[in-house]
């Protein structure tokens, strides 16, 4: 049974306030299925209202299947985010390793300079004490 958009209307409560948007879905056999949506949805296009109404029907009639599909979508998104995060970490680790190598090289160069200066000072001190 293929349902499609037939009409829309505002549902008005006893106090005169708009309480919802009623969407009527119909099929080729003359069947009608009313679906209630939130009041602010009246502004949407007929196509968007049809999609929302069909989703409500699907949720209400095939709850387990609907929930499984939604969980599958969430699992797929989590997997995508996990992969993106892992890729980011790989790049971050590579940058960290490069920075660590540069720090080690800088420290080694600084130690060499300090050793050379200290050795030159000791040589100068020894020369001064021998005179």
68 and 128 share a domain? Answer: yes
51 and 111 share a domain? Answer: no
Q: What is the tally of structural domains in the chain? A: 2
Query: What are the C-alpha distances in Å from 105 to residues 52, 100, 101?
Result: 62, 9, 6
42 and 89 share a domain? Answer: no
92 and 45 share a domain? Answer: no
Q: What is the pLDDT of residue 65?
A: 76
pLDDT tens sequence across 41-67: 999 999 999 999 999 998 888 777 777
Q: What is the pLDDT of residue 61?
A: 81
22 and 76 share a domain? Answer: no
State mean pLDDT over 32-43.
93
17 and 72 share a domain? Answer: no
126 and 101 share a domain? Answer: yes
Q: What is the pLDDT of residue 26?
A: 94
> Average pLDDT, whole number, for the chain?
87
pTM here is: 0.48
User: Which residues span the domain enclosing 69?
Assistant: 64-131
82 and 38 share a domain? Answer: no
103 and 48 share a domain? Answer: no
69 and 131 share a domain? Answer: yes
32 and 68 share a domain? Answer: no
Q: What is the pLDDT of residue 92?
A: 86
81 and 45 share a domain? Answer: no
State mean pLDDT over 73-80.
91
For the chain, what percentages of helix, strand and coil (3-state, to nearest 5) are there? 70, 20, 15
- 2: pLDDT strictly greater than 70: yes
In contact, 69 and 25? CB cutoff 8 Å: no
Out of 14, 36, 61, a domain closes at 61
pLDDT tens sequence across 92-120: 888 888 999 999 999 999 988 888 887 76
User: Which has more pLDDT, 131 or 41?
Assistant: 41
């Amino acid at each position: 049974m293929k349902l499609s958009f037939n009409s829309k209307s505002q549902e008005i409560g006893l106090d005169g306030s708009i309480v919802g948007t009623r969407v009527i879905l119909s099929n080729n056999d003359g069947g009608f299925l009313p679906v209630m949506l939130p009041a602010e949805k009246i502004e949407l296009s007929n196509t968007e209202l049809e999609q929302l109404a069909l989703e409500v029907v699907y949720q209400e009639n095939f709850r387990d299947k609907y929930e499984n599909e939604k969980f599958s979508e969430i699992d797929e998104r989590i997997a995508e985010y996990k992969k993106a995060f892992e890729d980011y970490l790989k790049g971050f680790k590579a940058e960290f390793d490069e920075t660590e190598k540069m720090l080690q090289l800088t420290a080694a160069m600084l130690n060499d300079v300090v050793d050379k200066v200290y050795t030159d000072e000791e040589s100068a001190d020894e020369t001064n004490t021998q005179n």
